[in-house]
């Protein structure tokens, strides 16, 4: 049974990787993205070059597809995203989120908004499954007015119920953080690929 579940996960992940548009390539080498880190890097590249039409990207509540928001409500086209941004910690927080980088992090200089995006394309949450909760605790500890935690993943995975339980748990326990899901497919469809 474990082998069947693992094979199923690999099949879904493989389907997702194959669905990445041919134009979504590293601008330096021309190679296609094949993993979470490479996709995160390309996300920052296309966002910083203002090539993503955020009005075409929806965000979903953890009670999947019950509530839908526009990404423009939370993602500022003028704020940079940083890849693998370390979640700075002190002696009190090092065991909660220390040494845990954010896949993608954006924050405003005026401390109005902070957005942490966790990119998941079929893998489990790290830190014994507590990664998302720890990231929410980090956000909650900040002085920002609006704190948003987004799980960026494939629609395929969310339709199978992946990641939703963890998102719901965070939403229930950490009231100061908005938890949402974003589909990679929407991001792909909203990128203006340059020829």
Give the model confidence (pLDDT) of 9-29 as tens digits: 668 888 899 999 988 999 999
Which residue stretches of 74-145 are H helix?
94-97, 131-141
Enter the pTM of the model: 0.92
Instruction: Check residue 138 and give its pLDDT.
Output: 96
> Cα–Cα distance between 96 and 105 in angstroms, integer?
18
Mean pLDDT of all residues in 148-171: 95
Strands 68-70 and 178-183: unpaired
């Amino acid at each position: 049974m474990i082998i069947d579940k693992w094979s199923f996960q690999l099949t879904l992940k493989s389907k997702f990787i194959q669905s990445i548009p041919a134009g979504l390539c590293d601008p330096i080498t021309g190679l296609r993205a094949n993993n979470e880190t490479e996709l995160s890097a390309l996300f920052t590249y296309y966002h910083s070059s203002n090539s993503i039409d955020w009005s075409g990207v929806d965000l979903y509540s953890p009670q999947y597809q019950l509530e839908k928001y526009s990404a423009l409500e939370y993602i500022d086209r003028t704020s940079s995203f940083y890849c693998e941004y370390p979640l700075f910690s002190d002696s009190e927080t090092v065991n909660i989120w220390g040494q845990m980088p954010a896949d993608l992090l954006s924050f405003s200089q005026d401390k109005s908004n902070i957005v942490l995006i966790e990119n998941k394309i079929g893998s489990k949450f790290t830190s014994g499954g507590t990664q998302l909760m720890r990231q929410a605790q980090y956000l909650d500890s900040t002085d920002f007015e609006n704190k948003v935690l987004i799980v960026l993943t494939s629609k395929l995975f969310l339709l199978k119920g992946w990641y939703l339980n963890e998102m719901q748990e965070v939403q229930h326990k950490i009231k100061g953080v908005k938890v949402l899901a974003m589909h990679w497919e929407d991001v792909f469809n909203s990128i203006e690929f340059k020829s």
